[in-house]
Amino acid sequence: MDKFQGRVVALIIGIIVILVVFRYSARTQKKNLAGIGASIPKGLAVTPLQAILVDPLAYQDQEVLLEGTVGYFCSSGCEFTYQEGSFSIKVFADFGAKILTLLKKKRPVRVYGKVSGEEKPFLILLGLEIKER
Protein backbone atom coordinates (compact mmCIF):
# COMPACT_ATOMS: atom_id res chain seq x y z
CA MET A 1 0.00 0.00 0.00
CA ASP A 2 1.45 3.34 -0.98
CA LYS A 3 1.39 6.54 1.05
CA PHE A 4 -1.72 7.91 -0.69
CA GLN A 5 -3.78 4.75 -0.09
CA GLY A 6 -2.77 4.76 3.60
CA ARG A 7 -4.00 8.32 3.99
CA VAL A 8 -7.30 7.49 2.28
CA VAL A 9 -7.84 4.50 4.58
CA ALA A 10 -6.98 6.59 7.65
CA LEU A 11 -9.39 9.32 6.48
CA ILE A 12 -12.21 6.81 5.96
CA ILE A 13 -11.63 5.28 9.40
CA GLY A 14 -11.61 8.76 10.95
CA ILE A 15 -14.91 9.65 9.27
CA ILE A 16 -16.49 6.41 10.49
CA VAL A 17 -15.35 7.08 14.06
CA ILE A 18 -16.74 10.64 13.94
CA LEU A 19 -20.08 9.40 12.59
CA VAL A 20 -20.37 6.73 15.31
CA VAL A 21 -19.56 9.26 18.06
CA PHE A 22 -22.00 11.80 16.61
CA ARG A 23 -24.81 9.25 16.40
CA TYR A 24 -24.23 8.07 19.97
CA SER A 25 -24.21 11.63 21.31
CA ALA A 26 -27.43 12.46 19.42
CA ARG A 27 -29.16 9.47 21.03
CA THR A 28 -27.93 10.45 24.47
CA GLN A 29 -29.07 14.03 23.96
CA LYS A 30 -32.57 12.88 22.94
CA LYS A 31 -32.82 10.78 26.09
CA ASN A 32 -31.74 13.74 28.22
CA LEU A 33 -34.42 15.92 26.61
CA ALA A 34 -37.19 13.47 27.56
CA GLY A 35 -37.60 14.99 31.00
CA ILE A 36 -36.32 17.27 33.70
CA GLY A 37 -36.42 17.33 37.48
CA ALA A 38 -37.61 14.58 39.78
CA SER A 39 -38.82 11.27 38.40
CA ILE A 40 -42.54 10.76 38.57
CA PRO A 41 -43.29 8.30 41.38
CA LYS A 42 -44.55 4.95 40.12
CA GLY A 43 -48.21 4.40 40.91
CA LEU A 44 -49.06 8.11 41.15
CA ALA A 45 -52.46 8.44 39.48
CA VAL A 46 -53.20 11.23 37.01
CA THR A 47 -55.33 13.96 38.58
CA PRO A 48 -57.76 15.83 36.31
CA LEU A 49 -56.90 19.52 36.32
CA GLN A 50 -60.59 20.40 36.60
CA ALA A 51 -60.72 18.67 40.02
CA ILE A 52 -57.88 20.87 41.31
CA LEU A 53 -59.50 24.04 39.96
CA VAL A 54 -62.92 23.21 41.43
CA ASP A 55 -61.60 22.42 44.93
CA PRO A 56 -58.04 23.73 45.35
CA LEU A 57 -58.10 23.34 49.15
CA ALA A 58 -58.57 19.58 48.80
CA TYR A 59 -55.26 19.40 46.89
CA GLN A 60 -53.32 22.05 48.87
CA ASP A 61 -49.65 20.99 49.34
CA GLN A 62 -50.30 17.64 47.64
CA GLU A 63 -48.11 16.21 44.91
CA VAL A 64 -50.09 15.55 41.74
CA LEU A 65 -49.53 14.21 38.24
CA LEU A 66 -51.17 15.97 35.29
CA GLU A 67 -51.24 14.98 31.61
CA GLY A 68 -51.91 17.65 29.02
CA THR A 69 -50.04 20.20 26.91
CA VAL A 70 -47.76 23.21 27.26
CA GLY A 71 -49.34 26.62 26.72
CA TYR A 72 -47.59 29.96 27.16
CA PHE A 73 -44.09 29.97 28.69
CA CYS A 74 -41.77 32.77 29.72
CA SER A 75 -38.49 33.21 27.87
CA SER A 76 -36.40 32.57 30.99
CA GLY A 77 -38.11 29.25 31.76
CA CYS A 78 -39.32 30.39 35.18
CA GLU A 79 -42.98 29.58 34.52
CA PHE A 80 -45.34 28.14 31.96
CA THR A 81 -49.02 27.46 31.50
CA TYR A 82 -50.17 23.85 31.57
CA GLN A 83 -53.38 23.10 29.65
CA GLU A 84 -55.97 20.36 29.67
CA GLY A 85 -58.62 21.21 27.10
CA SER A 86 -60.11 24.57 28.11
CA PHE A 87 -58.61 24.41 31.63
CA SER A 88 -55.20 25.84 32.49
CA ILE A 89 -52.96 26.40 35.50
CA LYS A 90 -49.73 28.33 35.99
CA VAL A 91 -46.67 26.19 36.71
CA PHE A 92 -43.61 27.69 38.37
CA ALA A 93 -40.36 25.99 37.41
CA ASP A 94 -36.97 26.40 39.05
CA PHE A 95 -34.91 24.79 36.28
CA GLY A 96 -33.82 27.95 34.45
CA ALA A 97 -32.91 27.83 30.79
CA LYS A 98 -32.57 24.01 30.79
CA ILE A 99 -36.35 23.68 30.71
CA LEU A 100 -36.64 25.82 27.57
CA THR A 101 -35.36 22.88 25.48
CA LEU A 102 -38.51 21.00 26.52
CA LEU A 103 -41.14 23.73 26.38
CA LYS A 104 -42.86 24.02 23.05
CA LYS A 105 -46.43 25.25 22.69
CA LYS A 106 -48.98 22.41 22.48
CA ARG A 107 -46.33 19.80 23.30
CA PRO A 108 -47.85 16.85 25.21
CA VAL A 109 -46.38 16.59 28.71
CA ARG A 110 -46.71 14.87 32.06
CA VAL A 111 -46.29 17.39 34.86
CA TYR A 112 -45.42 16.30 38.39
CA GLY A 113 -45.78 19.06 40.95
CA LYS A 114 -47.05 20.36 44.25
CA VAL A 115 -50.33 22.31 44.40
CA SER A 116 -50.23 25.74 46.09
CA GLY A 117 -52.47 28.81 46.21
CA GLU A 118 -55.78 28.66 47.99
CA GLU A 119 -57.89 31.05 45.91
CA LYS A 120 -56.06 30.82 42.62
CA PRO A 121 -54.19 27.50 42.52
CA PHE A 122 -50.81 27.07 40.85
CA LEU A 123 -48.29 24.26 40.63
CA ILE A 124 -44.68 24.17 41.77
CA LEU A 125 -42.93 21.94 39.25
CA LEU A 126 -41.06 18.95 40.64
CA GLY A 127 -40.62 17.04 37.38
CA LEU A 128 -41.70 17.12 33.75
CA GLU A 129 -41.76 14.41 31.10
CA ILE A 130 -42.42 14.73 27.40
CA LYS A 131 -45.10 12.38 26.10
CA GLU A 132 -44.77 10.79 22.69
CA ARG A 133 -47.37 11.97 20.21
Q: What is the pTM of this model?
A: 0.72
Q: What is the pLDDT along the chain (133 residues), one digit of tens a residue?
A: 677 777 777 778 778 877 777 666 555 444 444 789 999 999 999 999 999 999 999 999 999 999 999 999 888 889 999 999 999 999 999 888 888 888 889 999 999 999 999 889 999 999 999 887 6
CA distance 84 to 66: 9
The whole-angstrom separation of Cα 28 and Cα 46 is 28
